[in-house]
Structure 1
Amino acid sequence: MFRFIFKTRLVQQRTIDFNINYSNVRYLQTLQSVNSIAAPTGDQQSLTVSYLSNACGLSLEKAIKASKLVDIKNTQKPNSVRQLLRSHGFATSHITSLVSKNPSILLADADKNLKPKMEYFESVGIRGPFLPKFLCSDKRILKSSLKNHIIPTFDFLRGFVETNENLISALKQSTRVIGNNVQKHMGPNLNTLRAHGVPEPHIVRLIMLKPQSLLLRADMFENVVNALKEMGFEPTSMSFIIGFRSMTNFGKSKWESKKETLMSYGWSESDFLLAFKRQPILMLCSVKKIRVLMDFFVKKMGLKSSDIVRCPNLLMFSLERRIIPRVSALKVVMSKKLSKKDIDVVWYLNMSKKDFEKRFLTCYMDGNPEVMEAYKSSLDSRDSFIGF
């Protein structure tokens, strides 16, 4: 009906083209087994392996591999680097992670190269527990030039999100964008969104929600936009941005697996498209969650699969914390015929917690305390619940 384009590994250009003949693709296995890695010889190599293992926490296997990429002749620079990292909140596990990804960091000039970057990151709000997580997420960050890459990248993104707080919020969605040339790769895609009429505040929202999606290859980015328009999403609506986020979040196989799971409960193609349009975040749910909730709604509660199409929000909720307590209370009300009106179960399940308790529970608190008791009871009822 239309072509879906999905997530790519950013800037490294690992794209997914669904017209590829995968039978012609050959994969080269380059990783050596542990047994095939010869232990280094010589005092310097022994010092490198020993330091990587004892001081940085790498396993012997990883230390041997890393020793092929870094040659520690003395411990002065590595010690300075470790001391700097620890002074900025790095635990041993963080140092192990960072050195595993980028062993050469140990030979960097701590005062001239690394310290200015650390101070800059902290100046814009990347501090505390987030700083080690941020720097360990992508080895390219500390390898990048502060003047020529890091500062221009931050300035470019801040030009959209305006504040450091918003910038940090966006980076928490994807720290990897800092390791890429955002000006080069985001620019054409931002222009594509504008050309299709996406409002500027919605573009900013996409940057906040999923900045890495703007680093897709330009032609694939255009295809995602066109696919969403074919599905009936209006570029001027916020749902367009949410749909874009969902469609670029994973590859074709995961998308198809989730779609097939939903359709196995009786959904048609049009049902699927309607549900996705109503709630694009639906496709961010795992196959396991979709199956567990659909089994509960359809097989145990006896709802029709069309009820879920009508309200796909139901698949976003927690079975234990939301669905089961409400169903337990509804079951008591219905079994005792306490309500004079027909109860729309879907409507009550989709209602906010505050409204549900106000409109449904409080009116039964005096004469029928068992309704509230059922609502707050043990969630063991999940195993014994049969239906209405």
Structure 2
Amino acid sequence: MIYERNPKPPVRNFLLASRMRSLLSLMHERFLSSSPFSSSSFAVECLVNSCGLPSKSALEFSRDFHLHENNLQSFQSVFHCFQSHNIPSTRITKLIKRRPQILNYSVEDNLKPKLQLLVQNGIVGHHMCKVFVSNPVILNADLDSQIKPCFQFLKSVLGSNRNVVEAINRSSNLLTCDLKGCLQPNIDFLIEEGVPFDGVAEFLIRDAITVQHKHNSMVNAVNDLKNLGFDPKAPVFLEAVRVRIHMSESIWKEKIEVMKSLGWSEGEIFSAFKRDPNFLKSPVEKIRVATDFFVNTLKLGREILSEDPEFFTLKIDKSCRRRYGVFTLLESEKLIEGGVKIEEVLKMRDKEFLVKYVKKYVDKVPGLWETFNGRKQQQSLPRSNRAMGKSSSLREGKL
């Protein structure tokens, strides 16, 4: 069969498509006029002008919550309630975007009592903004059965409103946590196990997420640490609790086995863990790379790493390898004086290292800047560009 080419679309098809578009447009208009969204444009305009919402968000809210002229006043009252407590419009908008159900809350029965409680406890202004934006669930929590008991318990542990405000600023979900099932049993358990009360209070302020873990997880973590010889009275104990409780049993065992495969004994591993629990936070691959670099490249004995596990928190590729390159280059030029050890150099502050080992010798030792900055990256640049980059970065103090 032979098809004839038709360079222009048939006129009849074009007219039919045009009429179909007109019909669909008419149906859409009639649907809007007869639907619950008949006041949509008014609602959007009001939310934009009175509540400061972006037009797109206002349109979504007007559809999702069936805003009409007869209930827009209540939505405005919610917005003005927050404004009356010196919360900026931008923050209120962000809060409503995160939890648009707030627009349906009762100002008198829900919002005002909670805002007043926060004010009475010293949570005002930008503190109040931060609390609501980070945890809008507070506005849906029951005042008498949830929020007030949490405040009272926090005050009993932390002692002052100032400390309570600091704790809530750091972790606003303290007001909506499982008080009876997690927070209170964990606090009581730590104190019963011998952790000093002041240490527990400080821990609650600094790391509320850990204290809110399931109670059985807390019990297991504390018992594991005690079996390793940790003293609950020691300052490092709660840091070890934090590391252990956030690590699953399988990951914990995997890290121990990996370190054993790299030549570590259990005694060395746990000796390092007792000195600085954070070293076992490192991913398994980081542990492999770090052990290889320190033991095989730098020839540091594992006993040194065990006594100073801070090495495992250093950035191997972005810092340690480059500093080691600079150090060995300067050493070959006999410019390292005073029996300085590479361990000390690796743990220096960035600015101190830059001044003491790079700026001081960069014009005297060829290739020093390239070594410090990464050879592959610098070799691809023209000579003039390398010089410009060197002088600019030195002025800015970049590492």
Shared fold per TM-score greater than 0.5: yes
- Kindly indicate whether residue 205 of structure 2 is the aligned counterpart of residue 213 of structure 1: no
Matches of 1:232 and 1:177 in 2, distance apart?
31
Structure 2 partner of 1:78: 75
Cα drift, residue 279 of structure 1: 1.0
Cα drift, residue 138 of structure 1: 2.6
Structure 1 partner of 2:275: 278
Matches of 1:316 and 1:208 in 2, distance apart?
24
* 1:98-134 residue CA offsets vs partner (Å, 9 max, x unmatched): 3455333112233553244334434544345443332
Structure 1 partner of 2:361: 370
TM-score normalised by structure 1 residue count: 0.65
Q: Measured at CA, do residues 254 and 336 of structure 1 come closer, stay the same or move farther in structure 2, by a change above 3 Å? A: same
Cα drift, residue 234 of structure 1: 0.9
Q: Measured at CA, do residues 318 and 378 of structure 1 come closer, stay the same or move farther in structure 2, by a change above 3 Å? A: farther
Structure 2 partner of 1:171: 168
Matches of 1:379 and 1:81 in 2, distance apart?
60
SS of equivalent residue, structure 2 residue 123: coil
Q: Measured at CA, do residues 299 and 44 of structure 1 come closer, stay the same or move farther in structure 2, by a change above 3 Å? A: farther
Contact 1:157 1:167 in 2 (8 A): yes
Contact 1:228 1:244 in 2 (8 A): yes
Contact 2:256 2:269 in 1 (8 A): yes
Q: Percent identity?
A: 25
TM-score normalised by structure 2 residue count: 0.64
Contact 2:138 2:175 in 1 (8 A): yes
Structure 2 partner of 1:110: 107
Amino acid at match of 1:89: I
- Kindly indicate whether residue 372 of structure 2 is the aligned counterpart of residue 381 of structure 1: yes
Structure with more of its chain in helix, by fraction: 2
Q: Measured at CA, do residues 136 and 258 of structure 1 come closer, stay the same or move farther in structure 2, by a change above 3 Å? A: farther
* Residue range with higher mean Cα deviation, 136-145 or 199-208: 136-145
* 1:303-355 residue CA offsets vs partner (Å, 9 max, x unmatched): 5666544422123345699757854664355223345665432244346789x
Give RMSD over aligned pairs.
4.8
Cα drift, residue 200 of structure 1: 1.2
Amino acid at match of 1:117: K
SS of equivalent residue, structure 1 residue 203: helix
Structure 1 partner of 2:36: 44
Cα drift, residue 224 of structure 1: 1.3
Amino acid at match of 2:36: Q
In structure 2, runs of 5+ residues without a counterpart are 1-30, 377-399
* 1:130-152 residue CA offsets vs partner (Å, 9 max, x unmatched): 43332122333112344553343
SS of equivalent residue, structure 2 residue 361: helix
Contact 1:275 1:309 in 2 (8 A): yes
Matches of 1:251 and 1:64 in 2, distance apart?
41
Contact 1:53 1:63 in 2 (8 A): no
* 1:62-108 residue CA offsets vs partner (Å, 9 max, x unmatched): 948993xx554521122222233355435547634x34553331122
Amino acid at match of 1:79: Q
How many positions carry a matched residue from both structures? 336
Structure 2 partner of 1:191: 188
Q: Measured at CA, do residues 295 and 53 of structure 1 come closer, stay the same or move farther in structure 2, by a change above 3 Å? A: farther
Q: Measured at CA, do residues 146 and 41 of structure 1 come closer, stay the same or move farther in structure 2, by a change above 3 Å? A: farther
Q: Measured at CA, do residues 211 and 325 of structure 1 come closer, stay the same or move farther in structure 2, by a change above 3 Å? A: same
Structure 1 partner of 2:128: 131
SS of equivalent residue, structure 1 residue 44: coil
Q: Measured at CA, do residues 106 and 340 of structure 1 come closer, stay the same or move farther in structure 2, by a change above 3 Å? A: closer
Contact 2:167 2:204 in 1 (8 A): yes
Structure 1 partner of 2:87: 89
Specify the structure having the higher radius of gyration (Cα): 2
- The structure, 1 or 2, with the larger RCO (C-alpha pairs under 8 Å, 6+ apart) is 1
Cα drift, residue 180 of structure 1: 2.0
